[in-house]
A and B are shown apart, each in its own frame.
Chain A
């Protein structure tokens, strides 16, 4: 660094002459292309997949891309999407929870029983369901931390046990109808944002990116570190803002953006912040990558596992409550069937690794849109659920294959 100090002073992180650094807007594009080429695909496969799926279904039935169908799609996404968000938490630390479907079913049954049959206030019933979810997750963490029980087995046991509890509290009636017209059911079926709210909210991500981006550039410049391209940042912000506004405008031609989907996206953004910008999130990724290294760095590994399992079950319970609101009922079927695998598949299709240490909250959002698009498209084509299962299974397999190939490419290009 010293010998080059006579010309323009080099940034602190640009002192090594052997390393190529791309600069400016073209540099940002070039860096992105290099990343993709070496197997660091990020969300690219799922976005490409989504385009393919939408094209196919639209050509088969144009109703698919109608705004009213897409609004319904967003309603359906939110319930399993919240569950998938919990799955991301356990996958990041390299564990799994196979009982999220049962937990969501039990949570909906608990809300139905306490609220409709026992006459509890609805808020208290929901809180009880969420607390139960967190408790189950803590139990898995206890079994894992203290007894060394693999999460695969403990949650498989939980799948059956919690399903049994769901059937038990629903009793002989089998299902409880939630009253139409109540706030919870309206939230799950009807409530959409006023148009001005949705347009305003669509500006916020771009604005936040712009402000944090500019502030970071200023701070990096002050600290004598290289700065990313401002033009690239502005381009990204413009693309995202215009894209979101167009989507919102299209959806507003029908009913508009469901509040329930707003809640889901809010949770995704919050989780993304927690996973990438807090010490807790850093510890989660570290534990998923190298557990022993994390322990030797002084991280309380057991507490991290506890938080991951508890959060996963908590999100599963919340997803169950939302599903009950969506269906206006708590039944013996809630949370059974494909809920479990859809949630896990959504996280994996979205790009969260099954092997820990790699994952993003946004993968739950992207993945569940893929899964629900397939479900919705096949329903529109009047195909039976047998075909739906087969096709969803094939998509999951493709997603895992892409993940494995990308991992191999990353390894040969010297990336994690």
Chain B
């Protein structure tokens, strides 16, 4: 475990810095005293069990929820995010877990929703061209951008949502379970995309339950447990460390299996040399 929350992985400028963020829903404390940093050109994975507060944290950063207390610094300046528009204007783009697409609108309309070109005389041709460029960058397989989103599959919708987040050239992208609905090839594409986004110097926050995906792209892994910070890990940290940080228990089925495997390995390593 790395001791300082800033970590050694800092690549560039500190894009986002949260200090002491708490969020209460009535009597429930969804988040308590969270510290969280993202640098430019860095992928931070946010992991934790169900109910750990990952989605709540993302929604605060997206301007959907307001924190009960704490400060948000974005690119060195303290900011407030009273509504989603404010977050988008600052350069924080979000791909929500439920994607937040309008099923009755077509793909182009969804990608440009709220940011249409020439508001009084919509420039459909320019928007369609830009949409195709974005989708092709993502190697997306969308049959037609003039079909309503209702006719797309889950993976296609996911791609549309990611394409939309890239439209405004954000500084920070929040991805809430970006690969949950995707197939093998599409997952690889999204992970590639995350790499490309990082290479462009953007900060990326990614929520995932899939440790393989997390290890594949993350520079740092931040663990939340029951709404509190519960450690910051390097991507090469052992599964056992991660699992115990996520679940808060060092003794459960997953950790026992890992322990057993390690013991067997050690055992065979000690006694195994003469083995055929």
Distance between B117 CB and nearest chain A CB, rounded to angstroms: 9
Contacts of A285 in B (CB 8 A): 102, 104-105, 109
Interface flags for A276-300 (1: CB within 8 Å of B; 0: not) read 0111101101101110111111111
Q: How far is the CB of B170 from chain A (nearest CB, A)?
A: 12
Residues of A with C-beta under 8 A to B122: 277-279, 282
Chain B residues near A283 (CB, 8 Å)?
113-114
Shortest CB-to-CB span from B164 to chain A, Å, is 8
A220 interfacial contact with B, CB 8 Å: yes
Q: Which residues of A contact B62 (CB under 8 A)?
A: 296
* A298 and B104 contacting across the interface, CB-CB below 8 Å: no
B125, A286: Cβ atoms under 8 Å?
no
Q: Is the CB of B100 within 8 A of A296?
A: yes
Closest to A295 in B: B84
Known contacts A225-B125, A414-B150; A297/B105 CB under 8 A = no
Cα A387 to Cα B119 in complex, Å, equals 48
Within B65-124, which residues are at the interface with A (CB < 8 Å)? 83-85, 88-89, 94, 96, 100-105, 109, 113-116, 119-122, 124
**Is A13 positioned at the interface, with any CB of B under 8 Å from its CB?**
yes
Bound CA–CA A297/B143 (angstroms): 24
With a cutoff of 8 Å between Cβ atoms, the chain B residues found around residue A298 in the complex are 83-85, 88-89, 114-115
In the assembly, what is the distance between CA of A220 and CA of B144, in Å?
15
Total inter-chain residue pairs, C-beta < 8 Å: 116
CB distance from A320 to the nearest CB of B (A): 30
Chain A residues within an 8 Å CB radius of B94:
296
A211 located at the interface, meaning its Cβ lies under 8 Å from any Cβ of chain B in the complex: no
What B residues does A414 contact at CB under 8 A?
A: 150-151
Residue of B nearest to A288 (CB): B104
**Shortest distance in angstroms between A165's beta carbon and chain B's nearest beta carbon?**
36
Contact A297 B113 (CB under 8 A): yes
Q: Is the CB of B141 within 8 A of A293?
A: no
Question: Is A37 among interface residues, defined by CB-CB distance under 8 A?
Answer: no
| Contact pattern, A 260-288, Cβ under 8 Å of B = 1, otherwise 0 | 00000000000000000111101101101
Contact A290 B100, beta carbon cutoff 8 Å: yes
Q: Choose, from B26-34, B39-47, B128-136, B233-241, the stretch at the interface.
A: B128-136
Q: Which residue of A lies closest to B94 (CB)?
A: A296
Q: How far is the CA of A206 from the CA of B62 in the complex (A)?
A: 46
Complex: A18 Cα to B156 Cα, angstroms = 14
A416 and B109 CA atoms in complex are apart in Å by: 14
| In contact, A278 and B102 (Cβ under 8 angstroms) | no
- Cα(A299)–Cα(B112), bound, Å: 11
Max chain B C-beta neighbours (<10 A), residue from A224, A279, A285: A279
A12 closest partner in B (C-beta): B132
> Are A278 and B119 neighbours in the complex by a CB distance under 8 Å?
yes
Assess whether B211 is interfacial by the CB under 8 Å rule: no
> Are A290's CB and B128's CB within 8 A?
no
Binding site for A on B (CB under 8 A): 62, 64, 83-85, 88-89, 94, 96, 100-105, 109, 113-116, 119-122, 124-126, 128-129, 132, 136, 141-145, 147-151
Beyond the given pairs A282-B116, A411-B150, A414-B151, 10 more chain A to chain B contacts, judged by CB atoms under 8 angstroms and listed by A's residue number, are: A18-B141, A19-B144, A223-B125, A278-B121, A282-B109, A286-B113, A293-B100, A293-B113, A296-B64, A300-B85
The 6 closest A-B pairs by CB, nearest first: A416-B148, A279-B119, A289-B104, A416-B150, A297-B114, A298-B85
27 A-B pairs, CB-CB below 8 angstroms?
A13-B144, A15-B136, A16-B142, A19-B143, A219-B125, A223-B125, A223-B126, A223-B128, A225-B125, A278-B120, A278-B121, A279-B122, A286-B105, A289-B105, A293-B102, A294-B102, A294-B113, A295-B83, A295-B84, A296-B62, A296-B94, A296-B96, A297-B113, A298-B88, A298-B114, A357-B102, A358-B104
- Chain A residues packing against B (C-beta within 8 Å): 1, 12-13, 15-16, 18-19, 216, 219-220, 223-225, 277-280, 282-283, 285-286, 288-290, 292-300, 357-358, 410-411, 413-416
